[in-house]
Structure 1
Amino acid sequence: MESCGTAVSCMAAAFLLLLLGLLSSMAQQNELQTGVAGGEVTLNCTGILPDSKLSQDTVVTWKYYDTLLCRIEKRNYWKTPAFIRGGFDIKAPYKQLWMQNLKLSDAGIYTCEYSSHKVRTSLHVFKLTISLDGHFLQNEVPELILMQNSSSPLPDLNIALFDSNNNRVTPELQNKSRQKYIVNLRKLEAMDSGTWVCQVHSDSPLIKQNISFAVKVLGFQNPVLERKYVTVDSTVILSWHLNSQKIRWRKGFTGQLNWKQQESANAHELLNFSVPAQGELLETKKSSIFLFEIPERKPESTIEVRLPKVHFNHSGQYQCQLEYQGRHAQSQIELVVMKVSANPVGPLSRGANMTLTCQVSRPLPPNAYLRWERVNGTKMDIKSSKQREVKLEVNISAAGLWSCHLIEDSERKISLHYHVATGKKDGTSKTTLAGKQDVSVSTVSGHEGTQNEQRLLSREELDD
């Protein structure tokens, strides 16, 4: 090869090579496009003029690798069988290739040719599947499978997940290959229902793809474990609020409400229910082991029972259970009943003693205890129970109004008041009032509370 004769001729040659390279890059363009299986994507024929400005003899073709998909002339539009079967279409006026219902196998090289131009697009397809078709019960763990396909070597992906409240979720990676990633999410709660996002990222090639997917979690809007404190002879309503209407659950499910006094005891079915697909809640009362009612008026998708007069032995575990496709979810309300008594009932004679007993039907949690105190009394009139103690006795010699409080996390949950009267004898057999019990009831569950005021009178004894 001869060297350049002058500096000017060398510069001219260099400029010519640069210009040829630029023209070559303009004639053939390489692009990267990403899509999601089941979705759609539009591939551009970059640089082409709109239909109204194309010359009469302009021919546009689309190819998948070397397979001709379609040929577009000014007045003719010819499609191959591959084009017809593939769910393709052409978008005017810029001859874009519109692909619907993408599949992993659609990944590859698509080329648009017109005049002396070639636009080469590499289509990278992702497929995201979620276990159980995205329909879960609370406390179940979804499994996600992310797959990718491309004409180029598959990149190493970084995956980030965001829940329906746009909070980032750290998945547990179960299996990883360049083609398939399997991850497990955390246990789901009813509030997790909604649209989640899987964010896929790659540095080389540069990819950032957001894939949304729906999650529906059938369950209770109640806490998993709820505790209610009530007194004997009071009225209590136990409610479980389902979220089936809220999340528009379109599939049928069944359930039942069971009761047992202790963890180790046999369970008794109080009622069962069913919700047909797109139907209303149907309930059937099953048990008559004790008196309870099913209120007629209540919010939609609510399981509710009413105990009109609570007995001490009505305490225990009330468990509402859902069943869907052989899987189960449950929410439990623990009912704790309190009562007070005195021995002797009274009246309290001068110099005599009386034992007041405050008792709950079940062991209390570690952060709860019982406490006796005399209203307007001194610190000497206060006595507290020990941890997990279900009965608290106090020996008294002072009359007045005595109160037993159930305290949880430094908050009074319920109180019972017992009025201790005095008795006097003056030789003329004066009649006295004895042993009157005054009860104030406050039932509290979680952050919600209702108060029922009730007054109970013990027998009146006349002293001859």
Structure 2
Amino acid sequence: MALNNFLISFLLHLGILLPVTADRHEYTVAGKPITLHCPDVKPNADQGTVYWKHNETNIVKFIKGEPWKVDRSNTKYKGVKNKNFSLEMSEAEGGLYTCDGSGIDKNVHLHILKVTSSPERYLLQGESLELQLHAPNLEQIMIAWTGPHNQKGHQPRWNLKDNNRRLQIKDLQVQDSGTWQCSVQGQMIPYKVTILGFLKPLEEEIFAAVNSTAMLSYELNFDPRDEKYINSIEVHQTQETLGKPISPNSNGSCPSRNISEVQFEDAGWYRCHLNVNRQSLNKTIHLVVMKVFAHPSGHLPKKGEMNLCCNISSPLPPGARLRWGAVDESVDTPHCLVIRTAGLWTCSLIVEEEVKISMNYTVGEEAQLQFPLISVTLGVGLPLVLLILVSGCLFAYITIKRKKLRVERMAQAKQHLLAKRTCQCQRKKSNDYHHT
């Protein structure tokens, strides 16, 4: 018994003096450089040869602390002097690595973490993608996926399988384009995903009122003229508006369209076709137009009624309804509404309790027969003023005419008087001669 205790004590002391031998598991990301270390024993000239082995094949040896390559043509491995018999690898390769020699016997199980995708190509908006983690000899590990823009957790379009090793993403959007991350044992494994498509959803609905403005946009999330796309994919787009083709822009994209004064006839489907590597992607914009009118048209008769009608260019989707509203009342109606109150009325299209579009219509009352004071004054006063002016002008004309006649008569009277005196003088002279 005492001998056994002595042996155990001796072995414990010997274990303190000798290097600790143990297996270790390390994980690294594919394509990433890594450095493996032997136990904390510094090389010196008294030590013998120490080998680094990969799957029992010698790759690097240390002779008296100096590193040497066993196979000089192999550039993946490099021994580092005075670095605890360190082994550097520019690109890690999985397997069993052994540091052996001079009392050192250490195994490192190196596991390469890698993420692959299916399919491995450019993806189009609306397609599905599967990302898979390759991590051998890892059974019970924590795996977490993170998408671009810090998307985490169980998204509605995400489906996790095989103990979270596989991630399926359905109905890809352009926001999913970017770097995805898989977190394993503290390691972050990046994987870049490229998705080509339109910045807005493939199925888009735009609402517009008659005589308003509508913008139809087909903007892409990439530039078709970029060399990295020109050399690897074929991009060709055509646009179709209500069945009529439209020529694309010079950069290969569908032109945006601005309808300044929307008419009811402009409603319909506007499509843009994007072809990439023999795959087609269609974006559709559904323009829904609203118009409001009164029947019969005109003003609301006193104590009468009128029909206000609100028409939508397409059938109402399930759960949608039209609502007529005024200042003091609100009524849900299919299309037309009988009103007896003048004023401002508003027709609104409501889809899932959200107002998509509203349009106002002002109803005026029929004018009543009245005689306003101003109208009467203007109607009577204007003729009176004209009569006064005409009378004044006529009076002045008559006065001037009379004065002119009076002057003429006085002139004639003077002439008659002068002629009479001349005759009298001549008669008197003739009498005097006679007497003489």
TM, length-normalised to structure 1: 0.65
Cα distance 1:309–1:15, how it changes in 2: closer, same or farther (>3 A)? same
**Residue 99 of structure 2 is aligned to residue 112 of structure 1:** yes
Q: Give the C-alpha shift of residue 155 in structure 1.
A: 4.5
SS of the aligned residue for 2:114 comes to strand
* Number of residues of Structure 1 aligned to a counterpart in Structure 2: 358
CA–CA distance in 2 between the matches of 1:155 and 1:283?
Answer: 47
CA distance in 1, matches of 2:47, 2:337: 107
Residue in 1 that maps onto 2:332: 384
1:192 aligns with 2:176: yes
The question of 1:231 aligning with 2:219 is answered: no
Cα distance change, pair 14–231 in 1 and its aligned pair in 2 (3 A): closer
Distance in 1 separating the partners of 2:280 and 2:307: 48
2:36 corresponds to 1:93: no
The one-letter code of the counterpart of 1:345 is S
Aligned to 2:161: 173
Secondary structure at 2:139 match in 1:
coil
The 3-state SS of whatever aligns with 1:272 is: coil
> Which amino acid is the alignment partner of residue 173 of structure 1?
K
Among candidates 294, 307, 315, match of residue 342 of structure 1: 294
Separation (CA, whole Å) in 2 of partners of 1:188 and 1:138? 5
CA distance in 2, matches of 1:134, 1:167: 24
Quote the sequence identity (%).
29
CA distance in 2, matches of 1:160, 1:228: 38
1:258 pairs with 2:240: yes
Task: List per-residue Cα deviations over 1:403-434 (Å, max 9, x = no partner).
Answer: 4333442547321314334155799xxxxxxx
Other structure's SS at 2:194 match? strand
Cα shift at 1:282: 3.6
From the CA coordinates, give the structure whose radius of gyration is larger: 2
2:357 aligned to which of 413, 424, 428 = 413
Separation in 2 of the partners of 1:324 and 1:425? Answer: 72
Q: Which residue of 1 aligns with 2:398?
A: none
The secondary structure found in structure 1 opposite 2:323 is: strand
How many angstroms apart in 2 are the aligned matches of 1:20 and 1:397? 107
CA RMSD of aligned residues (A): 3.7
CA distance in 2 between counterparts of 1:173 and 1:273 reads 44
- Pair 1:125-2:112 in alignment: yes
Q: Is 1:30 the equivalent of 2:7?
A: no
Q: Sort the Cα spacing of 1:77 and 1:18 in 2 relative to 1 into closer, same or farther, 3 A.
A: closer
What secondary structure sits across from 1:313 in the alignment? Answer: helix
Q: Which residue of 2 aligns with 1:325?
A: 277
- 5+ residue gaps in structure 1? 201-206, 261-266, 275-280, 285-293, 295-303, 387-391, 428-464
Cα gap change, 1:372 to 1:114, in 2 (>3 Å): same
CA distance in 2, matches of 1:225, 1:40: 46
Distance 1:75 1:22 in 2: 23
CA separation of 1:57 and 1:373: change in aligned 2, threshold 3 A: closer
Q: CA deviation at 1:167?
A: 0.6
Q: Is the 8 A contact 1:29 1:120 kept in 2?
A: yes
CA spacing shift, 1:410–1:77, aligned 2, 3 Å: closer
In 2, Cα distance between equivalents of 1:191 and 1:75: 54
In structure 2, relative to structure 1, the CA distance for the partners of 1:131 and 1:91 (3 Å cut) is farther
Which structure carries more helix by proportion? 2
For the structure 1 residues 91 and 270, does the alpha-carbon distance in structure 2 shift closer, same or farther, using more than 3 Å as the test? Answer: farther
| Superposed counterparts of 1:359-378, under 5 Å | 359-374=311-326, 376=327
CA contact (8 A) 2:307 2:339 kept: yes
- Which residue identity does 2:207 align to in structure 1? Y
Amino acid at match of 2:248: N
5+ long unaligned stretches in structure 2? 372-436
Report the Cα offset of residue 244 of structure 1. Answer: 2.6
Quote how far apart the aligned CAs of 1:335 are: 1.3
Report deviation, 1:33: 1.9
Distance in 1 (CA, whole Å) between partners of 2:307 and 2:346 is: 13
Matched-pair contact (CA < 8 Å) for 2:204–2:286? yes
Q: Could you tell me how far apart the structure 2 residues matched to 1:155 and 1:339 are?
A: 64
In 1, Cα distance between the equivalents of 2:281 and 2:271? 10
Answer yes or no: is the 8 Å Cα contact 2:206–2:286 preserved in 1: yes
1:214 aligns with 2:192: yes
Cα distance in 1 between the residues matched to 2:183 and 2:309:
62
Give 1:291-310 correspondences, 5 Å limit: 304-310=256-262
Q: Distance in 2 between matches of 1:371 and 1:415?
A: 11
Sort the Cα spacing of 1:85 and 1:256 in 2 relative to 1 into closer, same or farther, 3 A.
Answer: farther
Q: Relative to 1, partners in 2 of residues 1:369 and 1:23: Cα closer, same or farther, differing over 3 Å?
A: same
Amino acid at match of 2:357: K
Aligned: 1:16 with 2:10? yes
TM-score, normalised relative to structure 2:
0.68
